């Protein structure tokens, strides 16, 4: 029995056009995300086999495989929900207040988040997360799927900056991809994640 499964999208592959093409969405979800799901399940199975045989010779590789693939599964699961054909604009209410408090206004938050995305050397993500220790918002530059992000950060908004996320449509012009992506950000989803993170993680760390 597979532990992890590929989640369905809440919208059609073409729903985010013209900002993200149906071709990108179809490949990204059905092939790339599926590969992380399969990879995470395989790593768990191989770790179970290592326990069964008592042979832990490859445990370091398996732990790397698990971290990479499970992180890929988590990142994409958040990313799909962070987008909507009815997205864009600016958040309201408590989330808007918090972004203003921690980033000196929504425009400055958007600028920092975009600059983090555009300055990644290689593959990675820009991430807005709730720091459960400090009880505050932070923006992080996540490398690959799992590096450069402290533990116990609850992701609220993630932007995939791997080439598979934009290259078919935007080629090397990352800035146009990032600019277009803001038009599909589902602030309702981000606000709901913020509310859960803010109210349900006190004392966790
Ligand atoms: Mn991706």
Establish if 43 belongs to a structural domain. Answer: yes
Establish if 181 belongs to a structural domain. Answer: yes
CA 13/CA 188 separation, integer angstroms: 20
89 Cα to the center of ligand 1, angstroms: 23
28 Cα to the center of ligand 1, angstroms: 6
Q: Are 74 and 151 in contact (CB under 8 A)?
A: no
CA 84/CA 87 separation, integer angstroms: 5
Query: Could you read off the pLDDT of 128-178 as tens digits, one per residue?
Result: 999 999 999 999 999 999 999 999 999 999 999 999 999 999 999 999 999
Establish if 58 belongs to a structural domain. Answer: yes
Query: Could you read off the pLDDT of 9-56 as tens digits, one per residue?
Result: 999 999 999 999 999 999 999 999 999 999 999 999 999 999 999 999
Establish if 88 belongs to a structural domain. Answer: no
Same domain? For 120 and 41 the reply is: no
Same domain? For 99 and 193 the reply is: yes
| Average of per-residue pLDDT values in the chain | 98
CA 75/CA 86 separation, integer angstroms: 21
Establish if 9 belongs to a structural domain. Answer: no
180 Cα to the center of ligand 1, angstroms: 16
82 Cα to the center of ligand 1, angstroms: 13
Q: Please tell me the predicted confidence (pLDDT) of residue 44.
A: 98
Count of Cβ atoms closer than 10 Å to residue 200 Cβ: 11
75 Cα to the center of ligand 1, angstroms: 8
Establish if 56 belongs to a structural domain. Answer: yes
Establish if 17 belongs to a structural domain. Answer: no
65 Cα to the center of ligand 1, angstroms: 16
Q: Please count the structural domains in the chain.
A: 2
CA 113/CA 159 separation, integer angstroms: 9
Which phi and psi angles does 131 have, rounded to 5°? -80, 110
Same domain? For 106 and 162 the reply is: yes
The CATH number given to whatever domain includes residue 37 is: 1.10.287.990
Same domain? For 68 and 133 the reply is: no
The CATH number given to whatever domain includes residue 102 is: 3.55.40.20
Domain that holds residue 175: 93-197
Q: Please tell me the predicted confidence (pLDDT) of residue 1.
A: 74
203 Cα to the center of ligand 1, angstroms: 32
């Amino acid at each position: 029995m597979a532990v992890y499964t590929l989640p369905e999208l809440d919208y059609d592959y073409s729903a985010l056009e013209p900002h993200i093409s149906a071709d990108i969405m179809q490949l990204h979800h059905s092939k790339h995300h599926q590969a992380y799901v399969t990879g995470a399940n395989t790593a768990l199975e191989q770790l179970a086999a290592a326990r069964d045989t008592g042979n832990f010779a490859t445990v370091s590789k398996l732990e790397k495989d698990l971290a990479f693939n499970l992180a890929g599964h988590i990142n994409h699961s958040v990313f799909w929900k962070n987008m909507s054909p009815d997205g864009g604009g600016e958040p309201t209410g408590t989330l808007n207040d918090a972004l203003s408090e921690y980033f000196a206004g929504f425009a400055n938050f958007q600028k920092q988040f975009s600059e983090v995305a555009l300055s990644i050397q290689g593959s990675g993500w820009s991430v807005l997360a709730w720091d459960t220790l400090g009880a505050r918002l932070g923006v992080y530059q996540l490398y690959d799927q799992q590096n450069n992000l402290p533990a116990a950060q609850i992701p609220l908004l993630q932007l995939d900056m791997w080439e598979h996320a934009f290259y078919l449509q935007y080629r090397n012009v990352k800035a146009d991809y990032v600019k277009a992506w803001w038009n599909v950000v589902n602030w309702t989803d981000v606000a709901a994640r913020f509310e859960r993170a803010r109210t349900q993680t006190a004392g966790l760390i």
